[in-house]
A and B are shown apart, each in its own frame.
Chain A
Amino acid sequence: MSALGLQQDVWWGRSLQLSWRVSVLCAILFALGWFAYQGLADSYDFQWDKALRFAPRYHSGLLMTLQVSAVAAVGATVFGLLIALGRLSPWVLVRDLAGLYVHTIRNLPFIVVMLVFFFGLRKGVGLDSVTVFGHTFEAPFVWGSITLTLYEASYMAEIIRAGIQSVRSEQMEAARSMGMTYLQAMRYVILPQAITVIIPPSTGIFIGMVKESALLSIIGLPELTRTAVDLFAPVRRPYTFEFYLILAGYYLMICVPLSFLSQWLEGRLGTHSRIGEEAARGI
């Protein structure tokens, strides 16, 4: 049923309805945006042409954001799996330890963990730059990816745990009774079934990683946000508004496709990502 009484029973009905819907939305947005913009422009001098000239300089930052998020994504998945297995371990003391880790990290702001690690632990550990295959990674990158990995692993662990627990316990019993060890049963029976539940919400975690990586600008990693702040800082350019709006546009460019991917996977795999959404918010 549509508000306009558009034809639903013909093949083009749906796309006509969709394009009508999108164009109405665009019109409303344009009107709202225009009013807001006019209101703001009374007291703020927008200089889009100048700000846009700097936009290409964001690209190196974009690359760095993607790099550090990718490293953290792999790291957090592996480490999160370990923590999840710890939380489901037959030994209660291991469960307690893994639970302690998850609850402590999840209830701290990312920036606090980052400050403790970068300005606290780094001084003691003395690990500063790492050279892999002739490419040297500086301290902000190394510690940034370590912190991001450890922080997001606690969220990832909860998702993986929920995924594993969604597989009925009879599966484990059957696998064990066929002579598999615990790890074999996990590897060949439980995890392949859990993965369909795990994948859609974990895209939410990857979005979270991209978003959290904005904070790595504080420890001096030259990623997206840092580039924007640096562009603004040297001469105290007056057009901060434009810079930061462009910055938000860049983040939307990374995150919106991921969020669509998550929705698509959800429909495809027939699971829903509420678990991940809530886990990602620390609920």
Chain B
Amino acid sequence: MAYSAPSQLHVPLMERRGAWVIRVFFIIGLLALMLGFLHFQLSKSYTFQWKLAFNFLPYFNEGLLLTIKASLVAGVVGVVLGLVIALARLSPFMQLRDLGTLYVHTFRNVPFYVFVLIVYFGFGRAIDVRPLVEAMGGIVDERLFWAIAALAVFDAAFISEIFRAGILSVHATQKEAARSMGMSATQAMRYVILPQAFRNVIPALTGELIALVKESALLFVISLRELTLVARELAAHEGNTFEFYTILAVYYLILTLPLAGFSHLLEKKLSLDDRH
């Protein structure tokens, strides 16, 4: 029997196949109404100067670049560190497991804001990293170095949890099969377990990158001129706080929403793959 599309008769009007256009228009319309009303109400007591604010977009773009740079580098370092911690937490040595657990639980229970303060105003004062920074050839300056270090060390705790869950999600028989073929425990981990774990872990890692971007907003506290500090400086200088902070929010959404969508799609695809 030839395939025929299921009847749409019993599907509610707004959930039929073409209805997404109406939904999008409805949402946009409603948003425009709400924002318009808000704008109208606020403009009674507040003078909006959007034109003036838009003149400063190049500054925002510079901040955006720095935000991307800090979160990407910290993401890469954090993944390496997180993998090491995850392996420590799954190691046969009790002490390594305990240390890994302690690391994760400490960082999960301290605000990132406080951690940045400790790293920059504590370790940053006690340890002179200028030789190291110069050795890296000026890719990062001292401030950015500490910012990336703070982000990476902090997020490694969360990334390690993702990896641990990913490794544990690979069925135990895989390891047994690998070992029975004569692989060592390390080889089994390297060639059999980790490749499968990595695949399962990518959506969650993408989500972690979003978290990194969001956390990088706090780096303004050590005067790293990323998006948030740019907006704060402009707001302090020009006085148009609302416009600048709204632009700031939009910039973050431009960064994070595609990542969230990507993560969601991957997750969907992986769960479809796992069905058979």
Given contacts A107-B252, A116-B246, A281-B207, contact A225 B241 (CB under 8 A): no
Question: Are B95 and A28 in contact, CB atoms less than 8 angstroms apart?
Answer: yes
Q: Which B residues are in CB contact (< 8 Å) with A93?
A: 14, 23, 26-27
Say how far B27's CB is from chain A's closest CB, in angstroms. 5
Q: Which residues of the partner chain A approach B109 to less than 8 Å between Cβ atoms?
A: 207, 211, 251-252, 255-256, 259
Q: Is there an interface contact between A214 and B14, defined as CB atoms closer than 8 Å?
A: no
CA distance A281 to B228 in the complex (A): 20
Q: Mark A93-130, 1 if CB is under 8 A from B, else 0.
A: 10011001001101111111101100111011010000
A44 contacts chain B at the CB level, 8 A cutoff: yes
- Tell whether, in the assembled complex, residue A115 and residue B245 are in contact, meaning their CB atoms are under 8 Å apart: yes
User: How distant is A185 from chain B, measured CB to nearest CB, in Å?
Assistant: 20
Contacts of A245 in B (CB 8 A): 118, 122
Judge whether A43 is part of the interface by a CB distance below 8 angstroms: yes
Q: Does A34 contact B (CB under 8 A)?
A: no
Partner of B214, one of A225, A229, A247, A282: A282
Shortest CB-to-CB span from B54 to chain A, Å, is: 16
CB–CB B114/A247 < 8 A: yes
Q: How many positions in chain B have a CB within 8 Å of any CB in the partner chain?
A: 71
Which of B12, B27, B110, B263 neighbours the largest number of chain A CB atoms within 10 Å of its CB?
B110
Question: Is chain B's binding surface mostly helix, strand, loop or mixed?
Answer: helix
Contacting pair A116 B242 (CB below 8 A): yes
Give Cα A119–Cα B234 distance, bound, in whole angstroms: 13
Does A266 lie at the interface of the complex (its beta carbon under 8 Å from any beta carbon of B)? Answer: no
Residues in chain B near residue A108, CB distance under 8 A:
214, 249, 252-253, 256
Q: Known: A25-B98, A107-B210, A248-B110. Is A123-B42 also a contact (CB below 8 A)? A: yes
Q: Which residues of A contact B (CB under 8 A)?
A: 3, 21, 24-25, 28-29, 40, 43-44, 91-93, 96-97, 100, 103-104, 106-113, 115-116, 119-121, 123-124, 126, 207, 210-212, 214-215, 217, 225, 228-229, 240-241, 244-245, 247-248, 251-252, 255-256, 259, 274, 277-278, 281-283
